[in-house]
Amino acid sequence: MYEKEEDKYQLELGTVNERFIAVASGKGGVGKSTVTANLAVALSERGYKVGVIDADIRGFSIPRILGVEERPKAESENIIIPPQVNGIKVMSMGGLMEEEKPIIWRGPLLSKTFKQFVKEVRWGELDYLLFDLPPGTGDMPLNLMQQLPDSELMVVTTPQVAATKVSGRVAKMADELDCGLLGVVENMSYYQCSECGAKEYIFGQGGGAELAANLDTGLLAELPLVTEVRESSDQGEPIVTVNPEADISQKFFTIADKITP
């Protein structure tokens, strides 16, 4: 059993009208941050006010994917103004230090940084605040889940058995901490030939659907493996921004529509 945190962090300089969404994965390398960034853009394109907290403090990548170049500004000693890109407010360690520099911090300092991102940032009025959590089931994701405002968990996995098994543990950990489950996103579900349209299930098939069924939740989307996603992310332009009509972009819009009123 996991010990529940009595005092969860709450926004002190803003409000969230709809949902806090924590995006998690059982292991790294499944595209969790890519899903977070593109979902944020899809929600913003639907007219919602969106914020993103890059809680993967040691392995931050949200600024690179979203193309955040601005740094946070200090309004006063204890109030931070977050940078914005395409109307999305973003807080990340990537805005405070160079991407190449390693963060060799222990848990308490990482938790303190996360606390500042929640409590000392002037978020203003938002409809959705997304948290890109560290991968795995170790102390850091556990501690952050304990401290999250009342959030719902979105689990990102790949079709592989190893990925879905550990993702299931993340979801069950969240359940014990009273963090509701929003659904499962299966990333890298298949590769589709650009010439003939044939699908190849490189990493297996059906893992996300099986995980969703085991957790009694919905499968929000099966996202294809698309080279353009990596290329656009490396250039600081999410695929939903670069090519909103692409099949994978439309799937992100579908996820957004499923989780909004």
Pairing of strands 191-192, 199-200: antiparallel
* 3-state class (DSSP) for residue 192: strand
Enumerate the known binding-site residues for ATP: 26-33
Per residue of the chain (261 residues), give pLDDT as tens: 444 455 688 999 999 999 999 999 988 899 999 999 999 999 999 999 999 999 887 778 999 999 998 999 988 888 999 999 999 999 998 766 655 554 444 556 777 888 899 999 999 999 999 999 988 877 778 888 888 888 999 999 999 887 888 888 888 888 887 888 999 999 999 998 878 878 999 999 999 999 999 888 999 999 999 999 999 999 999 999 999 999 999 999 999 999 998
pTM of this prediction?
A: 0.91
* 3-state class (DSSP) for residue 42: helix
Enumerate the known binding-site residues: 26-33
Close Cβ partners of 104 (under 8 Å, ≥ 6 residues apart) = none
The per-residue pLDDT for 150 is 87
Asked if 204 and 161 touch (Cβ cutoff 8 Å), the reply is yes
Domains in the chain: ranges and CATH: 14-259 (3.40.50.300)
